[in-house]
Amino acid sequence: MKKALFWHRRDLRIADNAGLHKALTSAECVQPIFIFDTNILDALPKNDQRVLFIHQQISRLKSEYQQYGSDLHVFYGDPLVLIPEICQEQQIDAVFCNRDYEPYALQRDKQMHEALQQQKVVFLGAKDHVIFEKNEILKNDGTPYTVFTPYANKWRATLTDSHLTEYVVDKHFEKLSIQSVQRVMPSLEDMGFSSEQRVEFPSMSVDDEVIAHYAERRNFPSVTGTSRISIHLRFGTISIRALARQAMHQSATYLNELIWRDFYQMILFHFPHVVSSAFKPQYDRIPWEHNETHFQAWCEGRTGYPLVDAGMRELNATGFMHNRVRMVTASFLSKHLLLDWRLGEAYFAEKLLDFELASNNGGWQWAASTGCDASPYFRIFNPTSQQEKFDKQNTYIKKWIPEFGTPSYPTPIVDHASARLRAIERYKTALNP
C-alpha cells in the first residue's frame, strides 16, 4: 500500500496505538485524521464537557504529530461522506482504524467498508481499547459467557505477555505524511459548542499508590481510593495494555475491574438488544412506576437519603460519581422508587464524563437485576447502612450536602422498609405470572 489514512476515534494517543502501528507497518505514507462526527454531536447539549475534553485532547494530539513533522487533519461532518471524498481526492489505498463494538459504530463501519470497497480502498481495523474482543473468550461450547466469574477465569487463563505488549509506534514515524502547511482544526464555536470549562478533567496518570491500595480503599468515597482514569480509557488517551500491566504487578482487584470492562464490551457485542431492553427478557415484564416528582428528586439529590443525594450532587457538579455510590444510587432508583432503570441509565449517559455505553448499561442492568450475572432482585441496598459502612464520619455526605443535619435537608421520599417489600413483591409477581 502506498497511501493510507489512519482514522483516530476512541484512541486519542500516538503511543501504543494498535491501529496506528498497523497502518505505519503496512503503508508507505500514513495521514492521521479525526472527524467530529455530526451523527453523534448533533444529539448532545451544546455545553457538553466531553466535547470540550475531546477537543482539548485532539489539539494535544495534533501538536504531537506536528513535532514529528506531520499533522493531524481534523474534520467536522459525517464520516461516511468525508472519508470516501478524502480517499478520492488524495488517491488513498487503505483506511485503518481501531475497532469499536457499539451498535452505532458497527453499523457505521459496515457502511464504510461497503462504500470504500466500491472505490477499491481497503478498510482495516485493529483491536485496541480492550484486551480481549468479540469471540476471543468463549465457553468450551463456543458460546459467549453471560456470567462474570467463569469469564474472568477464562480471561486470566488465556492472557499471555503478548496480549499486553506495547505497540512501539515511534520506530515507524518516517512513514507519517510530511506537512509543509499545518491545517487549522475546527473550533468548538465553529461546531456550535461552548468552550467554557465547568468541571475539572482528571489526570491521565495513575498514582502507583492508588493502584497498590485499591482493594482496601476503593469503597470509600471520601478518600482518593480509585484511579479516576475512566474518562481516559473511554477516549483512549491512555493504553488499556499499559494500565493492565500496571495492575498485574500491583493489584489483582484493580485488574478485575478491567476484566469487568472487557466483559461488558463483549456482552454488548454479542447481545446488542441490551441497549434498549433487559438482558433477561422476562424482566421487561416489570411494571415500573411513573412518578416524575420522585425522578426529579433523585436527579437533583433531594431524596432524603444522604448517600444517594451526595452522589447525585457530585455527578451534577463534576461529571463524576464514585463507583460504590453509583451502585447505591442506581439501586435506589430501580428498587426503592421502582422507576425504569433506563431513565437512570440515560441520565448517567448525559452527565458522566466517563460515559461508556457498555459499562453504563451493564452497571445499570446489574443494579436493577435485569442484566447478565446481576444482583438478585431481592438484594436491595440499604442506603443508610451503606452510608454507615462506607462514610461513617459523613465526610463525603457533608462535602456535597451542606444542609445535612439541618431542617433544610428533605425527609425521605420513601420509607426503606416498605419500599423494599414493594420492590420484592413487584419483581416476584412480574417474574412468576
Is residue 32 located within the same domain as residue 100?
A: yes
Task: Please give the torsion angle defined by the CA atoms of residues 165, 361, 350 and 215, in that order, rounded to the nearest 10 degrees.
Answer: -60
222 shares its domain with 322: no
Residue 188 is assigned to a structural domain of this protein: no
In a domain, 324, yes or no: yes
**Residue 220's domain spans which residues?**
129-165+208-270
Quick check: is 394 in a domain? Answer: yes
Please tell me which residue in 155, 257, 314, 382 is annotated as part of the active site: 257
Q: Do residue 160 and residue 285 come from a single domain?
A: no
Three-state SS for the chain is CCEEEEEECCCCCCCCCHHHHHHHCCCCEEEEEEEEEHHHHCCCCCCCHHHHHHHHHHHHHHHHHHHCCCCCEEEEECHHHHHHHHHHHHCCCEEEEECCCCHHHHHHHHHHHHHHHHCCCEEEEECCCCCCCCCCCECCCCCECCCHHHHHHHHHHHCCHHHHCCCCCHHHHHHECCCCCCCCCCCCCCCCCCCCCCCCCCCCCCCHHHHHCHHHHCCCCCCCCCCCCHHHHHHCCCCHHHHHHHHHHHCHHHHHHHHHHHHHHHHHHHCHHHHCCCCCHHHHHCCCCCCHHHHHHHHHCCCCCHHHHHHHHHHHHHCCCCHHHHHHHHHHHHHHCCCCHHHHHHHHHHHCCCCCHHHHHHHHHHHCCCCCCCCCCCCCCCHHHHHHHHCCCCHHHHHHCCCCCCCCCCCCCCCHHHHHHHHHHHHHHHHCC
Select which of 260, 298, 366, 400 is catalytic: 260
User: Could you tell me if 414 and 297 lie in one domain?
Assistant: yes
* Residues 148, 48 within the same domain: no
Cell numbers that stand for 409 in this block = 435537608
Q: How does pLDDT run across 188-207, given as a tens digit for each residue?
A: 999 999 999 999 999 888 88
Q: How confident is the model at residue 395 (pLDDT cuts 50, 70, 90)?
A: very high
Residue 419 lies in a domain: yes
Residues 124 and 147 in one domain: no
In a domain, 202, yes or no: no
Same domain for 116 and 149, yes or no, is no
Instruction: Show which of 105, 128, 151 is a domain's final residue.
Output: 128
Query: What integer is the mean pLDDT of 44-63?
Result: 97
Active site residue 288: yes
Supply 246's cell numbers. Answer: 500496571
Is 260 a residue of the active site?
yes
Q: What CATH number corresponds to the domain at position 321?
A: 1.10.579.10
Among the options 256, 291, 316, 323, which is catalytic? Answer: 323
* Catalytic one of 7, 155, 298, 341: 341
- Residue pair 30/71 in contact by the 8 Å Cβ criterion: no
Residue 316: inside a domain, yes or no? Answer: yes
Query: Is the Cβ–Cβ distance between 38 and 185 less than 8 Å?
Result: no
- pLDDT per residue over 241-299, tens digit each? 999 999 998 999 999 999 999 999 999 999 999 999 999 999 999 999 999 999 999 99
pLDDT at 68 over 90: yes
Are both 50 and 108 inside the same structural domain? yes
Do 238 and 342 lie in one domain? The reply is: no
Q: How far apart are CA 295 and CA 332, in angstroms?
A: 11
Q: What is the CATH number of the domain that holds 107?
A: 3.40.50.620
Q: Which amino acid is at 161?
A: D
Q: What is the pLDDT of residue 276?
A: 96
Q: Is the pLDDT of residue 371 over 90?
A: yes
Looking at the structure of the chain, the number of domains it has is: 3
Catalytic pick among 364, 366, 382, 400: 364
- For residues 281 and 409, membership in a common domain is answered with yes
Are 30 and 84 contained in the same domain? yes
Please, which pLDDT band fits residue 138 given cuts at 50, 70 and 90? Answer: very high
Closest of 219, 188, 205, 196 to residue 59, by C-alpha: 188
Does residue 257 have an active-site annotation? yes
Q: Which tens digit of pLDDT belongs to each residue from 294-346?
A: 999 999 999 999 999 999 999 999 999 999 999 999 999 999 999 999 999 99
pLDDT of residue 268: 97
What does the pLDDT read at residue 182? Answer: 84
Give me the catalytic one of 64, 102, 136, 288: 288
What's the pLDDT tens digit per position in 109-131? 999 999 999 999 999 999 999 99
Q: Does some domain include residue 337?
A: yes
Residue with cell 493510507: 4
